[in-house]
Amino acid sequence: MQKPLYVLALDDEPDQLELTKFFIEENDPDLVVDTLSNPEEILETIKIKPYDCILADYAMPGINGVELAKIIKETKDIPFVLYTGRGSEQTVLDAMTAGVDAYVRKDHDPEHFAKLVKEIRKAVEQNRARNGASGEPIAFPEYPKTLVRGRRVIILYEDGEEQLWNEEPDEIKALQVAEEIQWGLQLRHYVKEKLSRNMDEISESLLDMNVPLEEIEDIVFEGYRSLNKFFKMLWQPSLQEKK
């Protein structure tokens, strides 16, 4: 038997909560689900008991699941799974921005709870892997890099080529701009063009192939989650250096 994982499920509909609790625990006996119907109580609740994951509905009175995720993520590093009957590509993007770890659509078919359980465990495992990582610095490439000459911000490439980025009002502003774009240049070095394709084009292609909308939302979410995880990994050393 595995060590139990404690899940806090949040939904303003008590009947849905009980159904969710029953099927999650039925699919995975090592998941223990507590329920909460009032989102205003969640911050106090997670202070009292250390949960491994939060599972929340999207449409709730006063606050939606994405807004709640943002508040939770600013307070505590805990996996957050958005579980909703409503969804769109914009909802997926908003969820990613808020730091949501997984996005699962509600379904009348109980078979979908197997996927929900899988996403909960996956979110917990990834969170533990991040927190258990060694934090070894990532070797960024030396080029391209930014230079400041007076009020001019210059991009210097490895072959010696220089490109004028912009001429700022004063030298202080030029230094600020140079620092801001330096990370963008290094990140762009890592991200291949095919990974940064427009997600709208991907969605349209999948629709033309008659892929169900809920599956497209899952694909878009996974794509953005992978890129987001990659960008956070690359930015981590700079954040540590500033501390």
| pLDDT one-digit tens code per residue, 142-201 | 777 888 999 998 988 889 999 898 899 888 888 877 877 776 665 555 554 445 455 666
| pLDDT one-digit tens code per residue, 61-89 | 888 889 999 999 888 889 999 998 766 67
Name the nearest CA neighbour of 31 among 55, 51, 7, 49.
Answer: 7
Chain centroid offset of residue 243 CA: 23
Asked, for residue 35, whether it belongs to a domain, the answer is: yes
Tokens for 173? Answer: 């502003």
Same domain, 97 and 174: no
Contact 61, 38 (CB under 8 A): no
Intra-chain end-to-end CA distance of the chain, in Å: 41
- Local structure of 118: helix, strand or coil: helix
Instruction: With a cut of 80, say whether residue 22 has pLDDT above it.
Output: yes
pLDDT of residue 146: 87
Query: Number of C-alpha atoms within 13 angstroms, CB side, residue 68?
Result: 26
Tokens 């808020």, residue located: 98
**Domain end: 131, 161, 185, which one?**
131
Asked, for residue 166, whether it belongs to a domain, the answer is: yes
- Mean pLDDT (whole number) for 42-50: 88
Same domain, 35 and 102: yes
Q: Which helix (H) or strand (E) holds 231?
A: helix 213-242
Instruction: With a cut of 90, say whether residue 19 has pLDDT above it.
Output: yes
Instruction: With a cut of 60, say whether residue 242 has pLDDT above it.
Output: no
Same domain, 105 and 69: yes
Which amino acid is located at 53 in the chain?
C
pTM over 0.75? The answer is no
| pLDDT one-digit tens code per residue, 187-223 | 555 554 445 455 666 777 777 777 787 777 777 666 6
Tokens for 109? Answer: 């078919």
pLDDT of residue 59: 85
Same domain, 10 and 125: yes
Asked, for residue 218, whether it belongs to a domain, the answer is: yes
* β-pair partners for 31: 5
Looking at residue 12, which CATH number applies to its domain?
3.40.50.2300
Number of folded domains in the chain?
Answer: 2
Same domain, 49 and 125: yes
Asked, for residue 136, whether it belongs to a domain, the answer is: no
Chain centroid offset of residue 101 CA: 5
Asked, for residue 137, whether it belongs to a domain, the answer is: no
Same domain, 50 and 164: no
Same domain, 124 and 152: no
Tokens for 18? Answer: 């009980």
Same domain, 17 and 124: yes
- Domain range spanning residue 216? 145-242
